[in-house]
A = this chain, B = another copy of it.
Amino acid sequence: MSRVALVIQYLGTHFHGWQRQPNLRTVQEEIEKTIAPVGGHSVTVCAAGRTDAGVHAAAQVAHFDYFGYIPGERWASILNARLPEDILIRGSAEVPLTWHARFSASWRRYRYTLYTDKEPNLFVKPFSWHYYYVPLDESLITAALKPLLGRHHLAAFRRANSSRSHSWVEVQAVECYRRGPLLQIEIQANGFLYGMVRLLVGTLVEVGRRRRSPASFTQLWIEERREEVKYSAPAKGLCLLRVGYPEFPFPRKIWFDTQPTFL
């Protein structure tokens, strides 16, 4: 048996998320059913982070176990020749059986994109939340983000059916910046609670539009006032940017390529 790791890019628009579900088009199922006939047996593909319906991935990481002789690095091109247009394998490699896409990961980084021009724009529509009703002050959002750095209990930003046993999150990096009409928020953490980024962004937007001060935002999660976290930002603005591993099994090039600087 060998273990194969994949770096996967996908447009979330036409998927019901990563995880396999009966009668729904999911990324996991598309990849599994593409591997099976080539590999000669059915497989389960395990991802670093299970993205929701509509969420995109610049570089999801996943692995599967395989009984056969196809070399690890060959899988990328084999699968790309067979996968639908909205999934792309950016790289593949054989990894030790002790390496696990989800449990070996030391961090995930997500980016949320808001599009702030009044006029809609076809080129960014599938990848952003069109938010133009009120101007957003990114310095206030940054001020609200900073106290999140470090290890905190973030149950306030957790949706009901989370599979995790606890709500401790170590936030490693936060950023908020403008690029032309785009306002982007990046958060890197050891792990994320179910719905966390979208609930965070939904509440940060209240800060940006001066409905809530950065200090009150911080009070909200310190005091775990979950009932005040009312808004979840739309899925299509969210993108899983990167997954970090102490030992990244892919060539460095793949790693750096995954940053979609243009979006």
Contacts and interface: CB of A to CB of B under 8 A. Distances in A.
Interface stretch (A84-92, A187-195, A225-233): A84-92
Interface string A68-99: 00000000000010000111101100000000
Contact of A262 (B90, B124, B254): B124
A67 B121 CA distance: 30
Q: Which of A10, A11, A254, A262 has the most CB of B within 10 A?
A: A262
A86 B122 contact: yes
Interface residues of A, number: 33
A123 B58 contact: yes
Given A179-B261, A257-B117, A262-B262, A10 B127 contact: no
A53 B66 CA distance: 43
A260 interface: yes
Contacts of A262: 123-124, 179-182, 262-263
Given A118-B253, A253-B118, A260 B123 contact: yes
A119 interface: yes
Interface in A219-263: 253-254, 257, 259-263
Contacts of A259: 180
Interface string A161-201: 00000000000000000011110000000000000000000
Interface string A93-137: 000000000000000000000000111111110010000000000
Which 5 residue pairs are nearest across A and B when measured between Cβ atoms? A180-B261, A119-B257, A88-B122, A90-B119, A123-B260
